[in-house]
Amino acid sequence: MSSSNVEMYSGKYFALCGFGGILSCGLTHTAVTPVDVVKCNAQSNPAKFNKGMFGNMKIWGTEQGTRALVRGWSPTLIGYSLQGLGKFGLYEIFKYKYAKLIGKENSVKWRKTLYMAASASAEFFADIMLCPMETVKLKVQTVPGYGNGLLDGTKKLWGQEGLSGMYQILPTLWGRQIPYTIIKFVAFEAIIEAIYTQTEERFQRPKNSFNKIQQLGFTFVAGYSAGVICGAVSHPADTMATLLSKNPDVSKGIGVRIQEIYSGDGVKPGIGFAGLWKGLGPRVFMIGTLTALQWFIYDTVKTAWGIPTTGASGKVAK
């Protein structure tokens, strides 16, 4: 790891945070594409895909072929790399700007509120960057014969639905991702703070007494814990986003379409409350792993340029 230091809150600092976000989100989401394929199909066709994660993976692989388990990897890589740039890079910018706005004392006293505001603001813009590729990904993964990946999927989406089709799921994306990201950042910051507070109080080991590898281990634990929580909270909106992308009737308002998916339209029954939670197991497993790896990669990038890992003990924060 590099020993060179980057000035905190400089242009280079924020650029490196954005670069860390690109790697952390783009690589991790792409790596779990098979799990994502299974999860999305369990949400969009629960009557068929009801055998659990590995059973559903076998059903999909048998019908579509083994290569179909990684279908949608390219829009996933591009979309979530862009989202990571916004999620992590803008989070650091908004956190810094909001802290300056309210002053040092208030930014410490109200730090959890500061984390919430910064993460929500960052995710708002990150989802706009993600939305077109997320829509393509969902289409090629859940609509039979729609396409095999980035090029044919994007061409078909643009040709059939245009720009409005590319952004039709944005409201549900915000509904899924903004609460998810708030919890992801607030929970992570709180958990990593609690870890360092305990090591300092119980073992007289402040954060700076641990080497970078040990600190990254704490980062992974805090990230996984935060991921399990936010995966569960954001799951209903994730299910709705999947079903909206599969049924692109843009002639109806988003509220009407959500109501029909949930309650039924007189012809097709709705999914109901239980249907909102289909695919929860695979998603919690996926999001927990994703979040842990994302924070690990993000902090690894920071330490490579001499930037401290995220978080500190409560004593330091106070």
In this prediction, residue 293 carries a pLDDT of 94
In this predicted structure, the answer to whether residue 4 has a pLDDT above a threshold of 60 is no
* pLDDT average, residue stretch 31-60: 81
User: Mean pLDDT for the chain?
Assistant: 87
Q: How confident is the model at residue 251 (pLDDT cuts 50, 70, 90)?
A: low
* pLDDT average, residue stretch 127-151: 91
In this prediction, residue 315 carries a pLDDT of 60
Range in 56-70, 105-119, 289-303 with the lowest mean pLDDT: 56-70
| Residue pLDDT, tens place only, 271-286 | 888 888 887 887 788 7
* pLDDT average, residue stretch 115-137: 96
Instruction: Say how far apart CA 271 and CA 276 lie, in whole Å.
Output: 7
> Does the predicted TM-score (pTM) go above 0.75?
yes
User: How many secondary structure helices (H) and strands (E) does the chain include?
Assistant: 15, 0
- Burial class from Cβ neighbours inside 10 Å (0-12, 13-18, 19+) for residue 110 reads middle
Instruction: Say how far apart CA 241 and CA 139 lie, in whole Å.
Output: 11
What would you measure as the largest C-alpha separation in the chain, in angstroms?
65
| Residue pLDDT, tens place only, 188-243 | 999 999 999 999 999 999 999 999 999 999 999 999 999 888 878 878 887 887 77
Q: How confident is the model at residue 249 (pLDDT cuts 50, 70, 90)?
A: low
User: Under a CB-based contact definition with an 8 Å cutoff, are residues 176 and 184 in contact?
Assistant: no
In this predicted structure, the answer to whether residue 20 has a pLDDT above a threshold of 80 is yes
Instruction: Say how far apart CA 222 and CA 218 lie, in whole Å.
Output: 6
Positive/negative CA dihedral, 304, 310, 316, 318 = positive
Own/partner pairs, 44-53, CB within 8 angstroms, 24+ separation: 44/142, 44/242, 44/243, 44/246, 45/142, 46/271, 46/275, 46/278, 46/279, 52/281, 53/281, 53/282, 53/285
Q: How confident is the model at residue 2 (pLDDT cuts 50, 70, 90)?
A: very low
